[in-house]
Amino acid sequence: MTAHTLPAGLRRPLDGRPRQMFIGGAWTDALSGETLESRNPATRALLATVPAAGKADIDRAVSAARSAFEGPWSRFKPYERQVLLLKIADLFETHWDEISLSDTLDMGMPITRTRANRNRVIGMLRFYAGMATALHGETIDNSLPGEIVSFTRKEPVGVVGAIIPWNAPTAASVWKIGPALATGCTVVLKPSEEAPLTPLLIAELMAEAGVPDGVVNVVTGTGQAAGAPLAEHPGVDKIVFTGSTATGQNIVRASAGNLKRVSLELGGKSPVIVCADADLERAVPTAAMAVFANSGQICIAGSRLFVARAIHDEFVERLGRFAAGLRIGNGIDPQTEIGPLISRRQLERVSGYLEVAPAEGARLVTGGSRLEEAAFADGYFVSPTVFADVTDGMTIAREEIFGPVISAMPFDTIEEAVTRANDTPYGLAAGVFTRDLSNAHRLANRLHAGSVWVNTYHAIDPAIPFGGYKASGYGREGGAEHLHEYLNTKGVFIRID
């Protein structure tokens, strides 16, 4: 792939040239000199090489963040942080075509979807800007003898280590950086080695907006070589992570050294319940795209589909036709609805589930294979897949696949649907389709999930907290709760008599 074959809109041609990481306001290579490749998953073309950071690079990034936190950044007033975040939001708006194109090339999501994330991401930045001046302590009456005034202060927790996945580089970066800037923290961001390019672009925009040196640092590298040292670093006060449950458990163990604060947004195996009275014209495409969006590479994918027995066969037949009609291809094609998986490793993982499902008795309705002909030959494409006759104990009904695979299962009563939906280690999200308001409320109340969508899916708003129950993590992103994850509360007592 050469620069002239790419769509217009990139200030830095993604034609295999080396990129640097951003530490202390300067662009730099890894101290080891080693690099990693970033390739387009639709074509396997080399987009860029990036530094392969190690522990020494993490040390200098954390040092830069600490110096900034204790230096000029500590003197920024809430209003100044608000103005800065609004300027960043304006720059994102100006450069959104470039940001969305970078995401599409680096991790494969169709350009129509990366462009459509505009309002959500920029809205997040403006929400955090608004919150910067709304954070405060309280004056609290106490029961102590004498005249003692007591109040609380909200203070930034300090240096934040942020580790993000490859499936949503822009949104994940902003969900970590935005609240840090609003509260006065500093950040060392470690993007996935599978999709590091947009976070580097974001660092460039942050610097252009006037973020002081060392406040936002972006360090590229593998999870083992760079992520692990960041999670266990004694100079990091808080770690925020989005990714797999297994890695989240490792991060909790790594954080024990200095008992750093931890927020985790982890995996899911989200149920979608379709009641007999559901509007099928709405429910079929919405339930399908609850999984097929981003080729199933999304933590909230509604991959366990429970359908009322009275409409099960019709629903599954319609679902299969919808899936078979989706247009698969390179994400830069505006007609593409389903892009590639991120890597060969992910392709092999998903392919393994496609082989195991029929062996365990699932019936293939549509899809079920890798696409290798013609335009798909060089990429990591899997057809949107629907399995029926799935039982709760099957592998595809228990494990997070992170691919475009739906497991359809019938149910007879609402009580049964709730029990089976909650029978999972995860609790990130759930969906419900019904025209019965009582069932809508009953299910929303009883499903063990951090987000429940009724007659819709993927609805995320900056003002609404997002996060999981059980093995899907703890802490929240979005809403006022998110900002408080980045703050310490200090109690102050002053005797005035």
pLDDT bucket at 177, cuts 50 / 70 / 90:
very high
Share of the chain above pLDDT 90, in %: 96
Across the range 415-437, mean pLDDT stands at: 98
Across the range 244-269, mean pLDDT stands at: 96
Q: Judge whether 395 lies within some domain.
A: yes
153 and 290, same domain (yes or no): no
213 and 340, same domain (yes or no): no
Q: Judge whether 438 lies within some domain.
A: yes
pLDDT for res 12: 65
pLDDT tens digits, one per residue of 29-40: 999 999 999 999
Q: Collapsing DSSP states into helix, strand and coil, what is residue 316?
A: helix
**Whether the Cβ atoms of residue 248 and residue 218 lie closer than 8 Å to each other:** no
pLDDT tens digits, one per residue of 221-251: 999 999 999 999 999 999 999 999 999 999 9
Output the pTM of the full model.
0.95
Across the range 210-217, mean pLDDT stands at: 98
pLDDT tens digits, one per residue of 144-160: 999 999 999 999 999 99
pLDDT for res 15: 81
**Whether the Cβ atoms of residue 478 and residue 136 lie closer than 8 Å to each other:** no
298 and 327, same domain (yes or no): yes
pLDDT for res 3: 33
**Whether the Cβ atoms of residue 320 and residue 326 lie closer than 8 Å to each other:** no
212 and 297, same domain (yes or no): no
In the chain, the N- to C-terminal Cα span, in Å, equals 76
CATH code for the domain of 409? 3.40.309.10
pLDDT tens digits, one per residue of 70-96: 999 999 999 999 999 999 999 999 999
287 and 422, same domain (yes or no): yes
pLDDT tens digits, one per residue of 115-124: 999 999 999 9
187 beta partners: 160, 216
Q: Judge whether 466 lies within some domain.
A: no
pLDDT for res 6: 43
CA 60 to chain centre: 26
Q: Examine the pLDDT at 13 and tell me if it is beyond 80.
A: no
Q: Judge whether 161 lies within some domain.
A: yes
Burial of 77 (0-12, 13-18, 19+ CB in 10 A): exposed
Across the range 269-294, mean pLDDT stands at: 98
pLDDT bucket at 4, cuts 50 / 70 / 90:
very low
233 and 286, same domain (yes or no): no
Kindly report the number of other CB atoms within 10 A of residue 89's CB atom: 22
143 and 217, same domain (yes or no): yes
Q: Work out how many domains the chain is built from and give that number.
A: 2
pLDDT for res 14: 81
pLDDT mean across residues, the chain: 96
Q: DSSP state, 478?
A: S
75 and 126, same domain (yes or no): yes
pLDDT for res 375: 87
Across the range 356-379, mean pLDDT stands at: 96
pLDDT for res 302: 98
Q: Examine the pLDDT at 1 and tell me if it is beyond 80.
A: no
309 and 171, same domain (yes or no): no
pLDDT bucket at 10, cuts 50 / 70 / 90:
low
228 and 360, same domain (yes or no): no
Across the range 12-27, mean pLDDT stands at: 90
* DSSP states along 71-111: TGGGG--HHHHHHHHHHHHHHHHHTHHHHHHHHHHHH---H
Across the range 103-112, mean pLDDT stands at: 97
Taking the C-alpha atoms of residue 242 and residue 12, their distance in angstroms, rounded to an integer, is 28
* DSSP states along 135-163: ----B-----SS-EEEEEEEEE--EEEEE
Domain limits for position 476: 3-266+472-491
Closest CA relative to residue 220, chosen from 230, 210, 211, 208: 230
Share of the chain above pLDDT 70, in %: 97
Place of tokens 């995860």: 426
Q: Judge whether 163 lies within some domain.
A: yes
Q: Judge whether 497 lies within some domain.
A: no
Taking the C-alpha atoms of residue 7 and residue 40, their distance in angstroms, rounded to an integer, is 14
Catalytic residues: 265, 299
301 and 193, same domain (yes or no): no
Q: Judge whether 256 lies within some domain.
A: yes
Distances in Å between the alpha carbon of 7 and those of 218, 330, 349? 26, 13, 31
Q: What residue type is assigned to position 51 of the chain?
A: P
CATH code for the domain of 63? 3.40.605.10
**Whether the Cβ atoms of residue 434 and residue 453 lie closer than 8 Å to each other:** no
275 and 399, same domain (yes or no): yes
Across the range 334-347, mean pLDDT stands at: 97
Q: Judge whether 397 lies within some domain.
A: yes
